[in-house]
Amino acid sequence: MFDGFKLDFIDVGEAILRVRHGGSGPPVLLLHGHPRTHVTWHRVAPLLAAHRTVVCPDLRGFGQSSKPAAAPDHSGSSKRAKAGDCIALMRRLGFDRFAIVGHDRGSYTAFRTAMDHPEAITNLAVLDGVPIIEALERCDVRFASAWWHWFFFAQAEKPERAILANPDLWYPATPEQMGAEAYADFHAATRDPETIHGMLEDYRAGLGIDRRHDEEDRRAGRKVQCPTLALWSLRDDLERLYGDVLGVWESWTTRLEGRGIDCGHHMAEEAPAELANELLRFLAKE
């Protein structure tokens, strides 16, 4: 995996992140979702690296990155804290401005980075996600039936015990789907108690402090100032839950485009060439 990329552990102040980086040209930061690590990008990153400098970290709390200290409000796992990690990481690598792409839970950190640090972000791409507050305010029986795990994962202790009792039941995947090396990394992460706890803290922050940050932005009328691309998997739930996905993002952005991709949820693994082409087309607009 990641032929020609360098693997580092980089201290960004509040966290130590496991990071792959390679390629040359304008920088783009790729953020994975739950329950993946940065290796979910192993089929996309080399395609981008022919034109871009590509940086793929494990988010704090995930994979082999450090786990935040416990706090009553879960602030160490907030998307604002993770956005700070993104800014510090890219500055350590020599980049004050960069494009950012996030999938699933990573899309919330990407969005928060663009909102909190508009001077640093040239382009924002959000994959399979809408702002957390929009998802929660639109919660109905369809959302509760399909995404009930949001609320279970936010409970104390019980989800850790349930997942670790049978990780394969919670996180089904195969080497054939992911690639042998990527699967081995995923397999190790989803069986590590500290990593499971770190991933679940992301959900706990989502229902509390992250929602409050979105509420504050909306009251202040803040929007993403850079070009924004929203992509979603046509064989996943987003379009079924929200219908007009771009319509959900419209009030949060100033320049928006997007479309669905014919694949399942893990689009970087299932449709890497189409995703890479779409990202390169979009990033050329910066």
Q: CA 107 to CA 204: how far, in whole Å? A: 16
Give me the domains of the chain, ranges plus CATH numbers: 6-283 (3.40.50.1820)
Radius of gyration of the chain (CA): 17
Which residues contact residue 129 at a Cβ distance below 8 angstroms, ignoring those fewer than 6 apart? 102, 103, 104, 105, 107, 108, 111, 238
What pLDDT was estimated at residue 232?
98
* pLDDT tens figures, 73-127: 999 999 999 999 999 999 999 999 999 999 999 999 999 999 999 999 999 999 9
The catalytic residues are: 104, 265
What is the tens place of the pLDDT at every residue in 63-85?
A: 999 999 999 999 999 999 999 99
State the burial class of residue 190 (Cβ atoms within 10 Å of its Cβ: 0-12, 13-18, 19+): buried
Instruction: Tell me: pLDDT of 190 over 80.
Output: yes
Q: CA-to-CA distance for 259 and 22, rounded, in angstroms?
A: 28
Q: Which tokens belong to 130?
A: 């809408």
User: Where does the pLDDT of residue 212 fall: very low under 50, low under 70, confident under 90, or very high at 90 and above?
Assistant: very high
Task: Express each pLDDT in 147-176 by its tens digit.
Answer: 999 999 999 999 999 999 999 999 999 999
pLDDT of residue 285: 81
For the residues 268-278, what does the mean pLDDT come to?
A: 98
Tell me the torsion sign for CA atoms 73, 76, 78, 81.
Answer: positive
